Amino acid sequence: MWTFLIKDLLLFWRDRKEVAIIILLPLALVVILSLVMPGMFGEENDEEYDLNLGLVIEDEQEQGLERFEEQSRQTSDFSSNELEELLIGVHALPPVEGLIEYLNSPELAEWVSVETMVKEEAQEEVEQGNLDASLIIPEDYTFHLLADMYLNEPAEQSLIFQADDQTMEVEILSNVIQSYLDHMNLHHAISSAGGDVEVPSDALPQGEVENVEGQQPFSMDQYFTISMGALFVLFLAATVATRTGIEKRENTFKRIVLTNSPPLYYLFGKTMGTFILAWCQMMLIFIGSHFILGVFSDHGAAVWVGLILMVTIYTLAIAAISAVMTSVMLRLKKPETGDGIFMLVIMVFGVIGGNFVPIYLLPNWLQQIGEMTPNGLVLATLIEWIQYEDFSILVMPSIILSIIVIVSLFIGIKLYPKRGDVS
Amino acid sequence: MLETVQLTKAFKGKTVVDEVELYLDQGESVGLLGPNGAGKSTTISMISSLLKPTSGDVKLNQKSTIKNPVDLRKVLGVVPQEIALYEELSAYENLKFFGRIYRVPKSELESRIQDTLEIVGLKERQKDLIKTFSGGMKRRVNIATALLHNPKILILDEPTVGIDPQSRNYILEMVRQLNEQKGTTVLYTSHYMEEVEQLCNRVYIMDHGKVIAKGTKSELLSILSNEDTISVQPNRIDEEFLAAVKEIEGVRKVEVSGEEINIIAKKASNIVSELVNVGERHQVQILNFQMENPSLENVFLHLTGRTLRD
C-alpha cells in the first residue's frame, strides 16, 4: 500500500500546475473574496436591514407625571429646590416620550420602521410576520418607572417586547430598545451623582454578526476561509478520481493488475493519499489565511484544536468518498463520464453546502439540506465552533462524518472491480 | 507450457475472437500475425488474464488460469501495445514502482532495475522523466517494465508500432536475445510480416477473429508450393488491364501494391507470355517482371485475398 501511496504523492508533486491550483487558488480566492465582499454578514452594510416594530402605547403619560408629582411632594426625601428641579427635568423629557422620540429619530428611521397600533393588531401583525416584533408600553408605565428611579419604589410595570421567532432582526430590535434603557439608567445614575451626560446617537450595531451572550464575533474572511477549504478538498477528491481515469486510459492500471499485487492496496493507497493531501491542503488554507488576513487572530490556541480535529475527520470522510469515486471510475467504460459526474456532484454539494454562497443567505430548508453534505456540515460546525469554542459542538458532526467514512469505504470496496474485470 | 482452448470473446453479440487454439512450448518464439482488427490484442488480453473469455480456456502447464490467474501472472511478462508508464515519473522511478509491486526482493531490486535498463539500452537516461523520451525509448522502457520480475513467458503486443527503424531493430534484436540467450518463451504479435519472419519459429495467422493458418514458416510457405508469386511493374495500371490479368488461366490472386501488381498463379502455367499478350491488347507496357520467393505476406494474401496492412 505504501508503494502506491508514495507513487501517488510523487505524481501529485510532479504536477506543479495541480499543486498550484489546489493550494494557491483557494488561498487567493479567500483573499480576493474577503476584500471584495466584506459586508456580506452585515459589516458596513446597514441598509441590508429593514426592521419593522409595532408600538403599543397603553400608558397615559400626563396622568403618570401628575401622579408622580403628587407622590413626590408627599415624601420628605427631597428638599423643595431638589423637588422643583426634578419635576422640571421630568416634565422636560418624560421617559416614554423620550423612548418614542428615540425610536422615531432619523438615525433609526433609516433601518427601523415604527408603527403605532393597538395591542391586538400588533399581536396579529407579528403572528402574520408583517412585523418583526412589537413593543408594549403598559398602563401606568411612566409613573412606575419614575417612582422606581426616584422614589425607590419597586417597579410594578415594565416594557413588554414580543416576537414570534428569535431571528437576527428580533435580536437587533431588542438590543436597540435595551440600549436606550441602559442609556437612560446611566443618565439617571450620573445625574443622581451630580454629573451630566450627552444623549448618544444610536446606530445599528457595528461589525460582525450580531452578538448574543457568550458568542464570539464571526467574520466574512473566516467564512470564506472555511468554505473554500471545505470546497477545494472536494475538488481534490475529484482530482484523485480523475487520475485513476488517466491510469486506466493509459493502461498503467492494467499493468498494476498484472503484478498480482492485492487489488485493495491500490484503492487504499489512493484513499490514504487523498487523506494526506486533503489534510495538508485544508490546513495550509487555514494557516495561510491566518497569516495573510489574520482570520483567527482574535482566538487563542483552543480554536486550532477544534479546527484540526474537524479537518482530520472531514478529510477522512473525503478520502473515503474518493475511494467510492475511484471504484466508480474503474468501472466506467469512459473515464470522461466519471469526470463530468463527479464535477456535477461537487458543484451541487458546493452550492447546497454553502461553499459558494454564505449559508445565511440561503433559505432555511436549503440550509438544512446543505448540512447533510459533508462540506455543509463541516462549514456549519466550524462556524459555530469559532463563535462558541465549545467541544460539545463537535461531537455530533464527528459521529456523522465517521459514519460517512465507514459507509463510503464499504461502498468503495464493494464497487472495486474484481480481478480480470479491468477492461 | 501455455495453451488456449477454443478461446472465444464476444462483445455485444459480435464475436471478435472465435475458438482460437494456440500453444507455446518452453523456449519457443511464436508469432501471432494478422492485420489490424484481426483479434490479436483481444486474444493477448485473454491470455494475460486481463479479459475474461466468453468461453474457452487458457491453461498453464495443463492447469486452467481463468478463475485463478495468480500463477500465470507470476511467470508472465506483458508488453502492451500502448505505453503503460507514468509519464511524470522517471524511467528509474517507473521501474522501481513496478518492481516493488511485482514483489521483487528488496535486495535484488536495484540490480534488476540496472540489468533491465542495460538490456533496453537506457541506463544513461534512467533519471529522465518518461515524458521527455522519444517514442522508441518509451517502447523500450515499456518492455523493461515487463522484464523486471524475470518472466518465463514474454508476450509482446505490437511492440514496434509507430517507432523509428533504429529503435525497431533494437527491440527486435533484444527480443531475439531474450529468447535465444535467456530461454524466455516469446509470443510476439504484429502485423509486420517481416518481424514475425525474423523472430519466430512458429506462426499463427489470424483474420476476423479466427486462426486461419498455423505452423512453422516453411510449413506456411508450403501452402504456396504449387504457386508462383510474380511481381509486375507496368507503365500504367487501369481497371480493364487488371480485369484482363485476373482472367488469365492459372491466376489465383491479383493485388495492386503501389506501382506494382503482385500475382499469385498456378505453377507451370504460361503466365509470362499471357501477361505480355494482355499488355499489348490494352496498350500497357511491362517495364519490369520478377518471379519472387513466396513470403508470409503472400501466404496471407493467398488465404484472405487481402494484404496484412489492409
A224 and A281 co-located in one domain: yes
A242 and A384 co-located in one domain: yes
With respect to residue A388, please indicate whether it lies within any of the assigned structural domains.
yes
Q: Tell me what pLDDT residue A217 has.
A: 64
For A55, A57, A164, A172, A286, the CA distances from A132, given in Å and listed in that order, are 11, 17, 8, 10, 37
Look up the pTM and report it: 0.66
A168 and A284 co-located in one domain: no
pLDDT, tens digit, 9 for 90 and up, residues B157-187: 888 888 888 888 888 888 888 888 888 899 9
A296 DSSP assignment: T
The terminus-to-terminus CA distance of chain B in angstroms comes to 33
Residues A370-379, mean pLDDT to the nearest whole number: 89
Cell numbers placing B306: 487481402
Helix, coil or strand: residue B207: strand
**ipTM passes above 0.90:** no
Please say whether the beta carbons of A239 and A273 come within 8 A: no
A298 and A188 co-located in one domain: no
Cβ contacts (< 8 Å) between B103 and chain A: which residues? 259-261
pLDDT at A208 over 50: no
pLDDT at A212 over 50: no
- Where helices occur in chain B by DSSP H, the ranges are 40-47, 70-75, 91-101, 106-120, 135-147, 165-181, 193-199, 217-221, 239-246, 271-281, 296-304
Residue A295 CA to residue B176 CA, distance in Å, equals: 67
Q: Tell me what pLDDT residue A200 has.
A: 40
A24 DSSP assignment: I
With respect to residue A297, please indicate whether it lies within any of the assigned structural domains.
yes
Sorted by where each starts, the structural domains of chain B and their CATH numbers stand as: 2-221 (3.40.50.300), 225-304 (3.30.70.100)
Cell numbers placing B177: 536475445
Could you write out the three-class secondary structure of A297-352? CCCCHHHHHHHHHHHHHHHHHHHHHHHHHHHHHHHCCCHHHHHHHHHHHHHHHHHH
Full domain range(s) for residue A246? 2-43+216-415
pLDDT at A311 over 70: yes
A156 and A242 co-located in one domain: no
Sheet with A51-57: list strands edge to edge.
Answer: A112-116, A51-57, A133-137, A160-162
Flag whether residue A18 sits within 8 Å of chain B, measured between CB atoms. no
In this prediction, residue A197 has a pLDDT band, given cuts at 50, 70 and 90, of very low
CA of B86, closest CA in chain A: separation in Å? 7
With respect to residue A423, please indicate whether it lies within any of the assigned structural domains.
no
Residue A162 CA to residue A165 CA, distance in Å, equals: 9
Cβ contacts (< 8 Å) between B73 and chain A: which residues? 258-260
- Cell 518463451 appears where? B185
Lowest mean pLDDT among A255-269, B152-166, B288-302: B288-302
Q: Cβ–Cβ contacts within 10 Å for residue B68, how many?
A: 12
Residues A48-53, mean pLDDT to the nearest whole number: 76
Q: Tell me what pLDDT residue A210 has.
A: 37
**Nearest by Cα to B166 from B200, B196, B121, B197:** B121
A388 and A285 co-located in one domain: yes
Lowest mean pLDDT among A339-348, B29-38, B116-125, B286-295: B286-295
pLDDT at A204 over 70: no
A53 and A150 co-located in one domain: yes
Residue type, B265: A
Lowest mean pLDDT among A285-289, B182-186, B213-217: B213-217
A127 and A264 co-located in one domain: no
With respect to residue A206, please indicate whether it lies within any of the assigned structural domains.
no
With respect to residue A103, please indicate whether it lies within any of the assigned structural domains.
yes
Q: Tell me what pLDDT residue A49 has.
A: 67
In this prediction, residue A412 has a pLDDT band, given cuts at 50, 70 and 90, of very high
User: Which run of H or of E encompasses B210?
Assistant: strand B210-216
Cβ contacts (< 8 Å) between A14 and chain B: which residues? 88-89, 129
- Cell 456535477 appears where? A344
Mutate to test the interface with B, among A259, A261, A422 (most CBs of B within 10 A): A259
A382 and A234 co-located in one domain: yes
A330 and A299 co-located in one domain: yes
Give the residue with greater pLDDT, A36 vs A5. Answer: A5
**Nearest by Cα to B167 from B89, B98, B87, B83:** B83
Helix, coil or strand: residue B20: strand
Give the residue from A138, A157, A192 where a domain finishes.
A192
Flag whether residue A19 sits within 8 Å of chain B, measured between CB atoms. no
- Cell 417586547 appears where? A161
Lowest mean pLDDT among A222-226, A238-242, B265-269: B265-269
Lowest mean pLDDT among A149-153, A241-245, A382-386: A149-153
pLDDT at A178 over 70: yes
CA of B42, closest CA in chain A: separation in Å? 10
Could you write out the three-class secondary structure of B23-56? EECCCCEEEEECCCCCCHHHHHHHHCCCECCCEE
Q: Cβ–Cβ contacts within 10 Å for residue B310, how many?
A: 13
Cell numbers placing A284: 495550509
* Phi, psi dihedrals of residue B105, rounded to the nearest 5°: -55, 140
Residue A52 CA to residue A138 CA, distance in Å, equals: 20
With respect to residue A251, please indicate whether it lies within any of the assigned structural domains.
yes
In this prediction, residue B217 has a pLDDT band, given cuts at 50, 70 and 90, of confident
Flag whether residue A254 sits within 8 Å of chain B, measured between CB atoms. yes
Residue B165 CA to residue B171 CA, distance in Å, equals: 10
pLDDT at B284 over 60: yes
Residues 6+ apart with CB under 8 A from B40: B32, B34, B157, B158, B189, B191, B206
Give the residue with greater pLDDT, B257 vs B117. Answer: B117
In this prediction, residue A404 has a pLDDT band, given cuts at 50, 70 and 90, of very high
Which of B80, B87, B89 comes nearest A251 by C-beta?
Answer: B80
Q: Tell me what pLDDT residue A323 has.
A: 93
Flag whether residue A418 sits within 8 Å of chain B, measured between CB atoms. no
Q: Tell me what pLDDT residue A402 has.
A: 95
Q: Tell me what pLDDT residue A166 has.
A: 67
- Cell 464527528 appears where? A398
With respect to residue A209, please indicate whether it lies within any of the assigned structural domains.
no
**Nearest by Cα to B179 from B147, B207, B211, B134:** B147
pLDDT at B213 over 80: yes
Flag whether residue A80 sits within 8 Å of chain B, measured between CB atoms. no
pLDDT at B198 over 50: yes
In this prediction, residue A44 has a pLDDT band, given cuts at 50, 70 and 90, of very low
Count of A–B CB contacts within 8 Å?
A: 72
Give the residue with greater pLDDT, A60 vs A46. Answer: A60
Lowest mean pLDDT among A59-63, A226-230, B5-9, B256-260: B256-260
pLDDT, tens digit, 9 for 90 and up, residues A111-150: 888 888 988 898 888 888 888 888 888 888 888 888 888 8
Which of A256, A419, A421 comes nearest B101 by C-beta?
Answer: A256
Which residues make beta-bridge pairs with B76? B153
With respect to residue A165, please indicate whether it lies within any of the assigned structural domains.
yes
pLDDT, tens digit, 9 for 90 and up, residues B1-57: 889 999 999 988 888 898 989 999 988 999 988 887 888 889 998 998 888 899 999
**Nearest by Cα to A260 from B48, B64, B73, B78:** B73
Burial annotation A413-422 (CB, 10 A radius, 16+ → b, else e): bebbeebbeb
Residues A184-211, mean pLDDT to the nearest whole number: 49
In this prediction, residue B309 has a pLDDT band, given cuts at 50, 70 and 90, of low
User: Which run of H or of E encompasses A87?
Assistant: helix A80-92
pLDDT, averaged across chain B = 86
A411 and A322 co-located in one domain: yes
Helix, coil or strand: residue A386: helix
Residue B303 CA to residue B253 CA, distance in Å, equals: 10
pLDDT, tens digit, 9 for 90 and up, residues B90-138: 999 999 999 998 888 988 899 999 988 988 888 889 899 999 998 888 9
Cell numbers placing A246: 488517466
Residue A232 CA to residue A348 CA, distance in Å, equals: 14
A124 and A26 co-located in one domain: no
The number of folded domains in chain A is: 2
Flag whether residue A255 sits within 8 Å of chain B, measured between CB atoms. yes
Give the residue from A192, A225, A254 where a domain finishes.
A192
Cβ contacts (< 8 Å) between A422 and chain B: which residues? 50
Q: Directed axis angle between helix A374-388 and helix A301-331, to 10°?
A: 180
